[in-house]
Amino acid sequence: MVPAAVPQPPAPPALPERESDLPASRGGGLLWESGISKVAALAWREVTSYFVSPIGYVIAALMVPLVSVFAFLPAVLSGVPIAMDRVYGGLAYLLAFMAPFFTMRLVAEERRTGTLELLLTSPVRDWEVVLGKWLGAFLFFLAITAFLFLFAAVIVYYEPTHQVVSVGGLPLSIGNLDLGATLAGYLGLLFEAAALLAIGLLCSSLTQNQIVAAFVGLVVTLTLVFLLGLGTFLPSPLADISQYLGAYDHFASFNQGRLVAGDLVYFLTVTVGALFLSVRVLESRRWR
Amino acid sequence: MVRRVIEVEGLTKYYDERLAIADVTFSVPRGQVLGFLGPNGAGKSTTMRILTGYLSASSGRASIAGHDVFESPVESRLRIGYLPESTPLYSEMRVADYLRLMCRLRGVHPRRQADRIDFAIESCGLQARRRDIIGRLSKGLRQRVGLAQAVVHDPDVLILDEPTSGLDPGQTRETRALIVELGRRHTVILSSHILSEVSATCERVVIINQGRLVADDAPGNLGKRLSQDRATQVELHVIGDRDRILAVVEKVRGVESVTVNPTEDGSWEVLVTGRRKDLQDALAKAVVKGGQGLRQLQSRQLSLEDIFLELTASEEVPVG
Ligand SMILES: Nc1ncnc2c1ncn2[C@@H]1O[C@H](COP(=O)(O)OP(=O)(O)O)[C@@H](O)[C@H]1O
Ligand SMILES: [Mg+2]
């Protein structure tokens, strides 16, 4: 009963017409070849599944009150002229807490339910999966922070002069909005979100347990945003290193209206690095 | 187009130190429905995961329509529709939306997607379920959605890992019928640990045990070939003289051994083993001609199930 000695079975009957051995009119041309259409399809699925999943609702529902209470209101109540940087600043800290919850599901859940096997055996490259999922999380972040424009609009409405309006006896100070600084701060926020979401995605790709993914992600993002910024107390070379590695200072530089190449490089390095590692983690399954 | 759609050569896979499949070689011509049969842990899923590019092999080659699964994974996967063992689906999505996503991921032209989705939904009998959320469907219907996603991009090859496991008998029957239907349009590899399933749906059976191929033939031939070089056993109940019975029976051509035991009703129970297809007929004729009273006669032919069990029974297999 040696396999090699087994005779080949008879020829099969002819199949009904097929256009080719390829999928029915494979298409999309360059968009397909470049992977853009696949990345877009994956990102879109992630965005829509955020809006049907409880965690998506919870995050979206928490976002406005949290930012309002911790960032917008204190600024407005402070009595000094305000701009968006106060809001961005609050959000930049909040993001360290929230990003891992945005991303914990992305790969871990697919690993747990087994859908990852179906995804990775589709004609999709590993980097397309990673990029699509990251982009989905990023677009979701954009969507649920869209209310920031509302805050900005409130400020702009009172442009050009700073004034104090009284609402229910509370003196509210509303101020001049510097468009350049507003956009720079927003850009800084986007870069920080990009980096933290990429780190969260990496953590999600390492496990099939969402809670573990969120917890490990939290440890990393909190360290990056809070802990390293406190390194100024360390002896001199360590202090500089820790400050450079901390994410908040790089964001703060944007938020002060400065566009510095170094900050850009920092966020791009973290983002691309974490995405690259995620791709390697997905690839590693083959060697196990 | 390549005639051998699936070619597997010397495929070997170790999980760490553990050997899962060893030197698996077979090829499947276009249009064939191949049953991949073996007990649990035989290495069926491992082979399929290598074919779909989910795992890499430790050594050996595999190709789909001439595209090596390791060297050009995207090209080979374009031609594969795969249903993993556990039927993993995005349970929060609606059936049609899910199929659209799969079309997009698998390169169906945007203008053809609606047609392909309709086709998949109709051929899998899901017309009434288009808008249903997948997670709320019954196991049998989810299995159909799994098959629909496998065919939605009209792949050359379907790889179905135990497509009826966990279904009730009615659902199993429906799913088998559906697979037979799909087999008209696609080359299919279907794994199973149930012999009757494979012989009912497949033109050809490959039996794998402990990671090695042990048989490869049409289901009919498999039974025939195996029973040919195998002794058949016939049990007779005869009245008469013990020695005469023995003499008559032993003279029949092909008989190898005879044992005679007394029974309570005064007849003799005669157990005959021999290598001859019509052993039963020959024995009956000989006994009657010899003037003995034949009370009862039955053949103990091995069923396909016995053959399968015998082939896959744990035995020492040389490693190398
Ligand atoms: N991920 C894995 N890691 C280690 N061993 C595995 C893994 N998957 C399967 N195996 C082992 O490989 C062998 C073949 O498994 P599998 O291909 O799943 O068999 P089948 O699908 O025929 O039941 C089994 O002994 C199984 O325990
Ligand atoms: Mg299996």
The ipTM (two decimal places) reads 0.81
pLDDT at residue B220, as a whole number: 75
- Inter-chain touch A9–B218, beta carbons under 8 Å: yes
According to DSSP, residue B259 is labeled E
pLDDT at residue B317, as a whole number: 42
pLDDT of residue A85 exceeding 50: yes
Give the number of beta-carbon pairs within 8 Å between A and B.
152
pLDDT at residue A90, as a whole number: 84
Q: Mutation target for A interface from B154, B187, B311: give the one with most A CBs within 10 A.
A: B154
Q: How far is A46 from chain B (nearest CA, A)?
A: 11
Peptide bond into A74 cis (omega under 30): no
* Residue A168 CB-density burial (10 A; 0-12 exposed, 13-18 middle, 19+ buried): exposed
- Inter-chain touch A41–B109, beta carbons under 8 Å: no
* Residue B100 CB-density burial (10 A; 0-12 exposed, 13-18 middle, 19+ buried): buried
Give the Cα separation of A173 and A165 in Å (integer). 6
Give the Cα separation of B302 and B33 in Å (integer). 25
- Beta partners for residue B41, in sequence order: none
Q: How far is B66 from chain A (nearest CA, A)?
A: 10
pLDDT at residue A165, as a whole number: 60
Mutation pick for ligand 1 pocket among B17, B18, B37, B82 (CB with most ligand atoms within 8 Å): B18
Task: Check pocket membership of B41 for ligand 1, CB cut-off 6 A.
Answer: yes
Is any Cβ of chain B less than 8 angstroms from the Cβ of A51?
Answer: no
pLDDT at residue A16, as a whole number: 44
Is any Cβ of chain B less than 8 angstroms from the Cβ of A13?
Answer: yes
- Inter-chain touch B203–A9, beta carbons under 8 Å: yes
Ligand 1 center to residue B201 CA distance, Å?
25
Cβ B21 vs Cβ B12: under 8 Å: yes
Chain B residues with CB under 8 Å of A123 CB are 73-75, 77-78, 105-107
Q: Mutation target for A interface from B89, B90, B105, B317: give the one with most A CBs within 10 A.
A: B105
pLDDT-based confidence at residue A12 (cuts at 50, 70, 90): very low
- Of A9, A24, A53, Cβ closest to residue B217: A9
Q: How far is B82 from chain A (nearest CA, A)?
A: 7
HSE of A224, CA atoms in CB hemisphere, 13 A: 28
| Average pLDDT value for chain A | 81
A95-144 confidence digits (pLDDT tens): 999 999 989 999 999 999 999 999 999 999 999 999 999 999 999 999 88
- Positions in chain B short of pLDDT 50: 314-320
Cβ A132 vs Cβ A41: under 8 Å: yes
Chain B residues with CB under 8 Å of A118 CB are 82, 84, 88-89, 149
Averaged pLDDT for residues A263-274: 95
Please provide the size of chain B in residues: 320
Ligand 1: residue whose CA is nearest its atom 24: B41
Ligand 2 center to residue B39 CA distance, Å?
9
A30-43 confidence digits (pLDDT tens): 677 778 889 999 99
Task: Check pocket membership of B262 for ligand 1, CB cut-off 6 A.
Answer: no
Cβ A211 vs Cβ A101: under 8 Å: no
Cβ B237 vs Cβ B243: under 8 Å: no
Ligand 1: residue whose CA is nearest its atom 25: B41
- Inter-chain touch B156–A286, beta carbons under 8 Å: no
Ligand 1: residue whose CA is nearest its atom 7: B15
Ligand 1: residue whose CA is nearest its atom 3: B15
Give the Cα separation of B154 and B142 in Å (integer). 19
**Range with lowest mean pLDDT among A148-157, A172-181, A255-264:** A172-181
Cβ B133 vs Cβ B164: under 8 Å: no
pLDDT of residue A272 exceeding 90: yes
pLDDT at residue B282, as a whole number: 86
Beta-strand pair B204-209/B33-37: parallel
According to DSSP, residue B70 is labeled T
Short-list B88, B20, B84, CA closest to B48? B84
Chain B residues with CB under 8 Å of A22 CB are 78-79, 156
Give the Cα separation of A2 and A258 in Å (integer). 74
Cβ B39 vs Cβ B193: under 8 Å: yes
How much is the CA Rg of chain A, to the nearest whole Å?
Answer: 24
Please give the C-alpha separations between residue B284 and each of B252, B293, B310, in angstroms, as whole numbers.
10, 10, 29
pLDDT-based confidence at residue A9 (cuts at 50, 70, 90): very low
Please give the C-alpha separations between residue A185 and each of A95, A251, A256, B256, in angstroms, as whole numbers.
14, 8, 7, 94
Task: Check pocket membership of B18 for ligand 1, CB cut-off 6 A.
Answer: yes
Short-list B222, B158, B178, B151, CA closest to B28? B158
- Of B29, B82, B115, Cβ closest to residue A12: B29
Ligand 1 center to residue A121 CA distance, Å?
18
Please indicate whether residue A64 or residue B186 has the higher confidence score (pLDDT). B186
Q: How far does Cα A282 stand from its chain's mean position?
A: 18
Q: How far is B73 from chain A (nearest CA, A)?
A: 7
Give the Cα separation of B144 and B124 in Å (integer). 6
Rounded to 10°, the helix B95-105/A36-52 angle is: 160
For residue A14, the tally of other CB atoms under 10 A from its CB is 8
pLDDT at residue A158, as a whole number: 57
How much is the CA Rg of chain B, to the nearest whole Å?
Answer: 26
- Inter-chain touch A123–B74, beta carbons under 8 Å: yes
* Tally: H helices and E strands in chain B: 11, 14
- Of B31, B52, B75, Cβ closest to residue A14: B31
pLDDT at residue B56, as a whole number: 92
Percent residues over pLDDT 70 in chain A: 78
Task: Check pocket membership of B20 for ligand 1, CB cut-off 6 A.
Answer: yes
Averaged pLDDT for residues A196-212: 96
Q: Which atom of ligand 1 is nearest to the CA of B46?
A: 17
B225-254 confidence digits (pLDDT tens): 655 556 677 888 888 888 888 888 888 888
B24-38 confidence digits (pLDDT tens): 999 999 889 999 998
**Range with lowest mean pLDDT among A187-191, A265-269, B150-154, B225-229:** B225-229
List the single residue in A with minimal CA-CA distance to B112: A25
Give the Cα separation of A60 and A52 in Å (integer). 11
pLDDT-based confidence at residue A62 (cuts at 50, 70, 90): confident
pLDDT at residue B305, as a whole number: 62
